[in-house]
Structure formats: C-alpha cells, structure tokens
Amino acid sequence: MREEVATVRGPEGKPLYTQTLLIDIGERKRADEERERLLAAEREATARTVERQRRLDFVREAGQVLGSSTDYRSAIQRVAELAVRDYSDWCVVDVVEDGGPLERVAVARAELLSRKAAVAPDQAPEEAVREVVETGGLQIVPALGEASNGKKHSAILGGIDARSSICVPLKAQKRTLGALTLARTQSGETYGSDDLALAEDLAGRIALAIDRGRLYRAVEERADAARVVAHVADGVLLVDRRGIVRLWNPAAEAITSLSSAEVLGNSALDAIPGWRDAVDTIPVSSSPDPGQAEVVIPFEADGKERWISISGVNFYGGTVYAFRDLTEVHHLEELKADFIATASHELRTPLAAVYGAAQTLLRHDFALDEGGRNRFISLIADESERLGRIVNEILLANQLDAGRLDLGREPFEPAEVVERVVEATQVHAPAEVTLKISADEELPLVAGDKDKVRQVLVNLVENAIKYSPEGGTIEVGVAPHEDDVRFWVRDEGLGIPEGEEQKIFEKFYRLDPQMSRGVGGTGLGLYICDELVTRMGGRIWVEANGKKGSTFLFELQAAESTPAVEPRAASVELHGFVPRARRVPHK
C-alpha cells in the first residue's frame, strides 16, 4: 500500500484540513518483481547458451584434432592442451596399448597456474586411475552435490593439490582403453554434472580416436602382409574350409603357369590339375613351426614337368600351403646321379685297361716280345693320362664352384696357343680327323690367362674329335673381332640339336647321358670352358656349322684395349663369398 497525505487549504491559503489517501500498489510491485525475475532468467539463459556454445566449440575442436591424425598420441596431447584452456588446470590421459601396461600418454596444465601449483603430477598412473580403467566406472571428487567447503579431498592425481577432480574411463566397443582425468587446483568451482557430461563426451571421442588408430595400424599391417605375400618367391595357396582357393600369389602363378583368374574363387580340386591326388600326400601341420616336413611332388605346367616342394599349415579359416619350385634342384640332382654313373664308368674303363695291361705284363706263363710289351706300357701311359684328365676336370670344376681359382692376366700371343694345341692334339688324333689352323697374320695380344685359354681350346678340340665319330675336318681358328680376339673350333661331327645350345654349357649336362652313342664324358668340359672364359671377362657360345657339325666360339678382350686393371683384380674376385662373375648369355 502507498499512503499519500495532502493539506487542503481555503481561498486565502488557510489550511482547512488534511486529506489521506491509501493506494493499493501490490499489482505494480508484482509486475516489477516479475520483470526483474524475467530479466535475471534471461541473463542466466544467455550465460548458459554462451557456456553451452563454448563447450560445443571445445568438443568440436577436440573432435577435429582427434579426427585429423592417425597418430593418436600427439592428437591426445593437443586435446589435453585444449581442455586446460577453460575446463581444468590439469588434464591427464592414460592409455593401455594392446595388452601392454597402462601408460601416461598426455599431461597438460593451464598456462596461468602459479609456480607452486605447477608441480607436475606423477609420471605413472595412480591407483585411483587404475581402478577407473579396471572397473570402467568413473570417479568424481568431491562427489556431486557435496560442496568442497575448502576441505581436503583424497586427490585422484598424485603430486598436485586438487580442489576438484574427475576421472572417466576411455571406452570404445565395450572395452576400456584408458582414462581421462581433469583436475582444478585453484580456479573455478568444484566439478558439477555438466562438467562430468563434458568429460565423458571428451573421453568417448578420445577412445574412438585410439580405436581408430589401432584399426588403421591393423589394416596397414595386413596390407604389409599382403604385400609380402605378393613378393615372396614361394608360391602361397590358401584354401578355405570349403575347399575354395582364396589366395594365389604371383609366385604361385609363375611356378604353376596357372593365373589367379583361373584359380581364385574356384574349388582347388577343379582348378589345380592333379590337386586331388596330391592333396593327401602333402603334410599339413597345425602350427607354422619351422622345420616341418615337406614333400616334393611333380606338377605339370604348360606341358612341362616341374618339381615342387610343398607343405601346409592349418588355421581356423582353412589351410595355407607354401611351395617352392625345385625343378632346377631336382634337375641338378638327376644330373649328378647321371654324372656319378658316367664318371664311374669313365674311371672304370681306363682303370680296367690299366689293370688288365699290368696283369698281362706280370704274367710269367707267356712271354711277350718287345713290341708287345711296349704296346701294353703305352696303353698304361695313355689310360693313366685319361684318368688324370678326368680327375683334373672334377677337381677344377670343384675349384670353380668354390671360387678358389686365380687367373693370370698377362698379355699373350693367341696364334701361338692355337698352334701348340693343334700340334699336341695331332699326335693322338684319329686318322679320320684332319686338324687345320686358321690364324690371321696380324693379331693383337690377348688379355687373359694363357694356360686357361689353352685348356679351353684343348677341351673344345677334344670334344670336336670325340663327337665326330666319322671324322672330318676340324678347324681351330683365331681372328680379331672388334675390340676382342675371337677363337673358334669348327667340326663336322654330330652337331648340337636346336634348343640345346645353352644347356650343354651347364654343369654335368650331356646330350647323351646313357652313352647310347658310346661316347663317354663327365659333362664338365663345357661347364669349365664357360666358367673360365666368363671369369676372364669373355663369352663363349656355339653355332651350327652349316649342315653338319658345330662351331664353338669364344671371345676375349685384346690386351691393348684392356683398361688398366688392378694387378689382382681378376683373382681377388674369386676369393671368399663373392657373387659369381656375371654370366653373359650365349648367343
């Protein structure tokens, strides 16, 4: 109520009486109060909107930081730094790495903290944090609704004097990956439910980022594994539980000549020829331990027989088989077996001759005339020499394999070597064979090992004689060719069938291993020639000699054009574990 009092006066100004009015102003007062209240509410709402907007901005910014990198550690550190701008004085994040221990990955503090308050929290996660990670439940100190009253609370983070703290688990896909802890040491109020919601939101985003980082790494690792499988030299075949081929790597394609298009997604039994018979013989183990058994089985690829060594390992999704092409090894094994057969035959024949001749000479029951004795003695000498040659071949091949061979590099006259070889061969050449020399007048010196060049020529000439059962002319020649000197031995013998021109230079390789033509040999001669010529920096090959016979040629550098070499360079290369001299393909 408002009371208004007024004096009422007469015309002369004399007071007559007083008049009092009582006015009810309740309505207006209420209206004013209502307006005040509304204004306050509006102010509060605006403040709350601003706060909410600020939180939204913070959460969005944190989300962007976490989403922009797959390296979650540095992203988490940046988010922690954002959090200490407004919401806390300290922000700490602890993470469990794939089954490892809980580890502190980020610690951030507000910039404006006083020095005293800026003591860092412990480097190791505290008991309370561990509990949050283990139980997956959160902690807030003081509890919601409980005022701090300046009382001390048991802090979550050790080492700092917190007035209020929140610790929430980082959860993704029902797993707890760590914890986020916020603490206020001086500024602001104790944490309330809004702060808790914010912390949980932030924790969720951090957990997602960690999970994504892990997934990303797993995918990368898988991609790496796939790349490895694509590049290993072993064939890899994965057959699922239903017998369908799920993986067929490039090596498998190369070994079997079956493209992945033909095999992938199809039943292994249908897609891989011979699989039905082979699969039962392949050892399959349940763990990929090393040293497990393998079988060597034949496989027909493109009409050619290949030998592959294969074994399998079972896993929950099926069986993975790894296989290698052993055709070359198998081939070499076969050649070795042939070699042992031929070499022992080769050794036995002269041995038998020597033994027979010696026995005959020792007999007392019949007398041999002078001529007879001499015949037997020269037979012994010849056959012993043959034995020596074979043994030398084997030794030399072995030395070449082991890389223990020194080669000289003195320039020498090629024509002289050719003449010596022909002269020496002429002495024991069969009558049906005519030896001929073709040497240019003007020849440069050759850079190489003279003895070894002679050996190569002797091998080639001996072969020419051996493989010319009907005789004919054998031409041994030498001529300059560009910067090189070219040697050749041309015969009119059996010749080399097409397609065998390179193989005859392989170790132990013989065109007629069963010796149906009655000509023996170790299969080492041309291998030795090839190795020696290649190691002297030259090349050797064979060409057909018109209609009949063949021409073996090799080229070596002429001495004048030889670049200055370190004196021992040629032999140094042959010691120790060094790559073999590069093979120049035969023409």
Chain residues binding ligand ADP by CB under 6 A are 463-464, 467, 491, 493-496, 504, 509-512, 521-527, 550
In whole angstroms, give the CA distance from residue 293 to residue 311: 7
User: In this complex, which beta carbon is closest to ligand ADP, that of residue 85 or of residue 336?
Assistant: 336
Q: Min. distance of Cβ 544 from ligand ADP in angstroms?
A: 10
- Which is nearer to ligand ADP, 213 or 521 (by Cβ)? 521
Q: By C-beta, is 163 or 386 nearer to ligand ADP?
A: 386
For the CB of residue 238, give the shortest distance to ligand ADP in the complex, in Å: 43
The closest of 251, 338, 360, 351 to 301, measured between CA atoms, is: 251
CA dist 45 and 407 (Å) reads: 98
State the Cα–Cα distance between residues 134 and 179, nearest whole angstrom.
10
| Shortest distance (Å) from residue 404 CB to ligand ADP | 21
Cβ(411)–Cβ(451) below 8 Å: no
Nearer to ligand ADP, 444 or 538 (CB): 538
Using CB atoms within 10 A of its CB, is residue 503 exposed (0-12), middle (13-18) or buried (19+)?
middle
* HSE value, Cβ hemisphere, 13 Å, CA-based, for 244: 6
When CB distances to ligand ADP are compared, the closest residue is 521
**C-alpha span between 318 and 44 (Å, rounded):** 66
Question: Which pair of structure tokens corresponds to residue 155?
Answer: 């802090």
* Residue closer to ligand ADP (CB basis): 448 or 493: 493
Compare residues 180 and 524 and give the one whose CB is closer to ligand ADP: 524
| Shortest spacing between CB 540 and ligand ADP, in angstroms | 12
Q: Which of 159, 34, 36, 175 is nearest to 104 (CA)?
A: 159
Which H or E run includes 127?
A: helix 127-135
Least separation, in Å, of the C-beta of 463 and ligand ADP?
4
Q: Are 539 and 586 in contact (CB under 8 A)?
A: yes
Q: What are phi and psi of 585, to 5 degrees?
A: -60, 140
Phi, psi at residue 468, to the nearest 5°? -120, 70
Rounded distance between C-alpha atoms, residue 73 and residue 77, angstroms: 6
In sign, the C-alpha dihedral spanning 559, 561, 564, 565 is negative
CB of 486 to ligand ADP, least distance (A): 17
Please identify, using beta-carbon distances, which residue of 299 and 505 lies nearer to ligand ADP. Answer: 505
**23: part of which helix (H) or strand (E)?**
strand 15-23
Minimum distance, C-beta of residue 435 to ligand ADP, in the bound complex (Å): 14
- Inter-residue contact 92 to 157 (CB < 8 Å): yes
The nearest distance, CB 523 to ligand ADP, in angstroms, is 4
SS3 content of the chain, % helix, strand, coil (to 5): 40, 25, 35
Cβ proximity to ligand ADP, 313 vs 437, nearer residue: 437
Task: Compute CA 373 distance to the chain's CA centroid, rounded to the nearest angstrom.
Answer: 70
Closest to ligand ADP by CB, 88 or 550: 550
Instruction: Dig out the tokens for 81 from the structure.
Output: 């730094």
Work out how close the CB of 385 gets to ligand ADP at its nearest, in angstroms, rounded to a whole number: 16
Q: How far apart are CA 434 and CA 475, in angstroms?
A: 8
How far apart are CB 491 and ligand ADP at their closest, in Å? 5
CB of 518 to ligand ADP, least distance (A): 12
Written as six digits, the tokens of 498 are: 């097409």
101 three-class SS: coil
Nearest distance in Å: CB 474, ligand ADP: 9
Distance CA 514, CA 276 (A): 35
Question: 106 or 465: whose CB is closer to ligand ADP?
Answer: 465
Q: With helix as H, strand as E and coil as C, how does 470-518 read?
A: CCEEEEEEEEEECCEEEEEEECCCCCCCCCCCCHHHCCCCCCCCCCCCC
- The distance of closest approach from Cβ of residue 575 to ligand ADP in the complex, given in angstroms and rounded to an integer, is 26
Give the burial string for 440-469 (b: 16+ CB within 10 Å, else e): eeebbebbbbbebbbbbbbbbbbbbbbbbe
Q: Which is nearer to ligand ADP, 89 or 492 (CB)?
A: 492
